[in-house]
Amino acid sequence: MHERLSHKQSAAMIALMVHGREMANPELRKTAGFALDGKDRLKLNERYVSSKKSGRAFVHQLTDDGWDWCEEELAALTPPQPVRSTLTVVAYQALHGFFEYLRLHKVSLKEVFAGGDAPQAADLEELIRTAYRKLARSPRDWVGLADLRPLLGDAAVAEVDAVLKQLSRTGQAHLVPESNRKALTAEDKEAAVRIGGEDNHLLSIEVS
């Protein structure tokens, strides 16, 4: 029997489904308006979502059971109770129609949303540089990692961290902590890259 989850838990599941990859809490908060933490995370970790720490942020991804739950949820036609808005009802009807179309053509949700390949390291480095240039107001400007990460598309958090650390080791980029600790937001803390036991929140890339 299909397990109905709470509104927030269902929203987290569908957000992870739509993105089809790992999502860190800062990105989830920016795109969906909330982070997956506390009792909701623990509930989903029982079966549907795998979570791990990367730096100070939790990173989440659907398990195979999670993908199965999403298919059953979209087939359910109605949202979890209590229904809080007519928009939710209509949105579920639209999702149900989309799912029925996929089922008719024998296509799974995972094929639709998680079918693409993750960027390779060289491509990811260029993606980071491109995102940095969009945010930097001048050459070698300091850019917050909390602003940078959402621009990196499907890139996994651990892979982004690995490229940033490599750029730092080779002197092509610099990572530093925010000096004004009181100015740090939850997103800043979760997006940090941890190097040598220290959380780094800001990035500067050398002009190539």
Q: Are residues 131 and 39 part of one domain?
A: no
The DSSP call for residue 120 is P
Point out the domain boundary residue: 64, 83, 113: 113
User: Residues 6 or more apart from 187 whose CB is under 8 A from it?
Assistant: 26, 29, 30, 146
Q: Tell me what pLDDT residue 119 has.
A: 60
Tokens describing residue 30: 């920016």
Mean of pLDDT values over 33-59: 93
In CATH, what number is assigned to the domain containing residue 14? Answer: 1.10.10.10
Q: What is the domain range of residue 133? A: 121-205
Q: What is the mean pLDDT of the chain?
A: 91
Angstrom distance (rounded) from CA 80 to CA 100: 19
For residue 23, being part of any structural domain is answered with: yes
pLDDT in tens, 114-128: 875 556 667 889 999
Q: Tell me what pLDDT residue 83 has.
A: 87
Q: Are residues 132 and 39 part of one domain?
A: no
Closest CA to 57 of 203, 207, 206, 199: 199
Closest CA to 178 of 139, 204, 196, 207: 204
- When divided into structural domains, the chain yields a total of 2
Is the confidence at residue 173, as pLDDT, over 60? yes
Q: Are residues 149 and 103 part of one domain?
A: no
Is the confidence at residue 40, as pLDDT, over 80? yes
Percentage of the chain surpassing pLDDT 70? 97
Tokens describing residue 97: 């129609």
pLDDT in tens, 47-98: 999 999 887 889 999 999 999 999 999 998 888 988 888 999 999 999 999 9
Point out the domain boundary residue: 113, 146, 163: 113
